[in-house]
Structure 1
């Protein structure tokens, strides 16, 4: 009988505790009880093995930490989820909230974005010149989007990689080079024959001799095994990595002001972190390529000067005269301030 009374007292005590906890929970401010992270659906430009997914993933982790749980990124995948060249349209229509990748992949809808590759200065200087502010006017008008910035390291350039030796600019005449919109005009200006091939088909094309080379950044060639069929990396490099963290405009406007500020602040911090991080990465990559049998072929000084000058001349000419005559001159003027 005594045991039964003790048990009843114990149950009564537990009931009081549960009631008290419930009342305290009810009295807490809604933000402390019901607050949930804002989930942002993200797609990346490249397949999973590609190195250039990493800077975007690093920024997402930093932004989540910086915003103390107010935001969570739902990474749905890369081209296997939404084909690369359809990702800009997916942001426009709200199929995804954010695209993280290369801005040139939606240059078909907005050719002016290709001007960014021609800015040989870091992101924070580009921002100071008012370029991002102007670009957001264009993103709003043409893509129903907001451009937060470039998640990629601005001190990484592009290179041409070939299966045959190159010692002067004229050696590119007649060579078939796999390109994207970034360096198509440059290859044409050298007398080469540009061709567009999906990344998954590049290895076989190089192996069979269908193409004589390709353009790619100074880091990441080995991710897809291309070093096995490439013999030379041509130096010096040219242009700048033009990444994007681009968000659907309606989604952007729906975010609380502190969240918008936190996302942009974290990206600005990330930009400088990436710049410092990749100073050592690039030298290491050259060593790894050499060990893998890829020769770093540096053009003689006069040819190197001609090569780089032609890259920028061809890039601006294409944009100003053909692809973006309305806005490219203005962007160039902002750069030259």
Structure 2
């Protein structure tokens, strides 16, 4: 795999007699996304790219070089750590093996702006820098949760909890333990493989945000959506730390402010998109199963407890500090 890095040059400065400042070319940041270009997460990221490229003309530019076809999703965390590419649109849950503290994003019940104001981004960046050689710039596409989507109607156990026994669900490292706690058989695979798995009956459903279900074409096979949503979407814009440090101060300011602005605008857009997509899916025949009362509370407590317990087991060093900032008691 080709190793990309930030490209900086003072092309022809000596020949032209220009000052180093005047002759310095734009910083070029090469980026990849965890979903293919047609999926809403990648499309939303393009809005951030456009914002940086507009504000950073002559100073800093972002080039999106591809998605999982460029760097396999399961290798993106290591690729970021090793500087294979400069910038990633990548959920924290897809590289918890590298930075287990990324669990805090899914385990949070604060929106991204509340989290930033509380110092959450600064705090978690201590772990991302030390373990992932990375810097988190923004928690984007907030305002959404993961939902269970199935083509079989789930049951309820004696304790009143949702019972997924006998149902095979596509999973990811982020929510595998939660699905297994509910009795499901977990099949870990990339989102790009789910369509074929649903088509062939390898799985009977998946867990995923509302946005993305139609993009991947899964609505053709799914019949039920279980509410409420659990966890929080944990999509991050992050950079290899060495690439970040190599940027000029002016470029850093442009990229950082664009990330903060996009964090808020993507949240607002995602809330609206979740509402519209939910209606389209319901109108298309997907039935909503609504957990209420004690059943709802038990479902959410189970999800959040698993997220924080998993961090505690993997590395308890920052568990208490992160939970105090990232989570408000239900």
Same fold (TM over 0.5): yes
TM-score by length of 1: 0.85
**Is the aligned partner of 1:179 residue 2:171?**
yes
**Is the aligned partner of 1:142 residue 2:125?**
no
Q: Report deviation, 1:48.
A: 2.2
Higher mean alpha-carbon deviation, 98-107 vs 63-72, is at 63-72
Q: Report deviation, 1:336.
A: 5.0
**Is the aligned partner of 1:229 residue 2:221?**
yes
1:82 aligns with 71
Residues 232 and 123 of structure 1, relative CA distance in 2, 3 Å threshold? same
Secondary structure of the 1:222 match is: coil
Q: Report deviation, 1:227.
A: 0.6
Point out where structure 2 has 5 or more consecutive residues left out of the alignment: 1-15
Which structure shows the bigger proportion of residues in helix conformation? 1
Q: Report deviation, 1:31.
A: 5.2
1:8 aligns with none
User: Counterparts in 2 of 1:18-167, with a 5 A limit?
Assistant: 34-150=23-139, 152-166=140-154
Secondary structure of the 2:304 match is: helix
**Is the aligned partner of 1:316 residue 2:308?**
yes
Q: Is the 8 A contact 1:167 1:299 kept in 2?
A: no
Inter-partner Cα distance in structure 1 for 2:58 and 2:145: 35
Inter-partner Cα distance in structure 1 for 2:242 and 2:17: 34
Q: Report deviation, 1:86.
A: 1.1
Secondary structure of the 1:278 match is: helix
Q: Report deviation, 1:52.
A: 1.1
Inter-partner Cα distance in structure 2 for 1:96 and 1:331: 28
Q: Is the 8 A contact 1:121 1:154 kept in 2?
A: no
1:190 aligns with 182
Give the alignment partner of residue 328 of structure 1, picking from 300, 306, 319: 319
2:12 aligns with none
Higher mean alpha-carbon deviation, 42-51 vs 168-177, is at 168-177
Point out where structure 1 has 5 or more consecutive residues left out of the alignment: 1-25
Q: Report deviation, 1:280.
A: 2.1
TM-score by length of 2: 0.87
Give the alignment partner of residue 198 of structure 2, picking from 174, 192, 206: 206
